[in-house]
Amino acid sequence: MRSSQLDLVFSALADPTRRGMLERLAEGETNVGTLAAPHDMSQPAVSKHLRVLERAGLIQRTRHGREHRIRVDPRPIEAASTWIEHYTRFWKQQFDAVDAYLEARAKQTHPPQRSKERRKR
Amino acid sequence: MRSSQLDLVFSALADPTRRGMLERLAEGETNVGTLAAPHDMSQPAVSKHLRVLERAGLIQRTRHGREHRIRVDPRPIEAASTWIEHYTRFWKQQFDAVDAYLEARAKQTHPPQRSKERRKR
DNA sequence: GCTACGCATAACTACGAGGTTATATGATGG
DNA sequence: CCATCATATAACCTCGTAGTTATGCGTAGC
């Protein structure tokens, strides 16, 4: 049941409705109604999406009279961003190496069948 | 039911087992067994996780005899990365502005109760 | 003060995700 | 050949998610 912060952030971002809300919030803080307007769904559904974003720490809410002002907190996303950026470096390296290998092999007239059979590790 | 590429990538990243596999794949391509080893779960469970990664386009598979070599394809992640980086710019701007405002207000001896009451928009 | 507004919560449905065990499939090696 | 290995697939269970309608609750405004 334990979900790490990264889990919560990534799964919050995995829904187009919630990404839409975050995109809207890039324009500035608003109330729930404004956030809900573009999305064709019931008000409680919107409320649930906001709770997901809130549990991931992606938004902050300030009650202001009867309306709730919502604003983005970009900090949890940076954890996600950092994770991606970190590993992307290695992945690209990996990917490019394989890419180069495949390209090189394609150039040979008789591609060796078993050349990859014995690899280190 | 339609899930965009971004949905698939983000939700694939939302699971620690799958992130663990991608982290392992940063070291180099391997077979399924090696990928499964560190994770305490049944082999079919691992197989399912790989399918999720595959559907998101994050890994590629080459059958090589009876084993499947798995390697990362970093390209779909870049879409996710781009989305994050794009909006992070605006969010930070937003966040920092609110932050500065709150700090400024905190400095006043008599924080005005209704100063935020009438805001543009 | 009453009504309407802005939102949350409750209770329900439908479905997918993540796990299991059991079984199938195809390649390897003695 | 036959047993075994590497992996996938099937069938099932459980739980969380995304949606619904109905209802509650505090604030605004006339």
Q: What is the pTM of this model?
A: 0.81
Distance CA A37, CA A32 (A): 9
Q: In chain A, which residues from 60 to 89 place their CB closer than 7 Å to nucleic acid strand D? A: 65-66
Q: Is B71 helix (H, G, I), strand (E, B) or coil?
A: strand
CB atoms inside a 10 Å sphere around CB B93: 13
Q: What is the mean pLDDT of chain A?
A: 82
Q: Has residue A115 got a pLDDT over 60? A: no
CATH of B3-74, one of 3.10.310.30, 3.30.499.10, 3.40.50.280, 1.10.10.10: 1.10.10.10
Question: Who has greater pLDDT, A104 or B1?
Answer: A104
CB-strand contact B31/D, under 7 Å: yes
Whole-Å CA distances, A104 to A15, A95, A107: 40, 14, 5
Low-confidence residues of chain B, pLDDT below 70?
A: 1-3, 95-121
Chain A hits for B94, CB-CB cut-off 8 Å, are 25-26, 28-29, 71-72, 74
Domain ranges of chain B: 3-74, 76-110
Structure confidence at residue A1 (pLDDT): 43
Q: Answer yes or no: do B14 and A7 touch at CB < 8 A.
A: yes
Q: Answer yes or no: do B72 and A83 touch at CB < 8 A.
A: no
User: Rounded to a whole number, what is the distance in Å from the CA of A84 to chain B's nearest CA?
Assistant: 7
Minimal CA–CA distance to B76: which of B9, B2, B22? B9
Contact B80, B5 (CB under 8 A): no
Question: pLDDT grade, residue A94 (50/70/90)?
Answer: confident
| Helix (H) or strand (E) run with residue A78 in it | helix A75-107
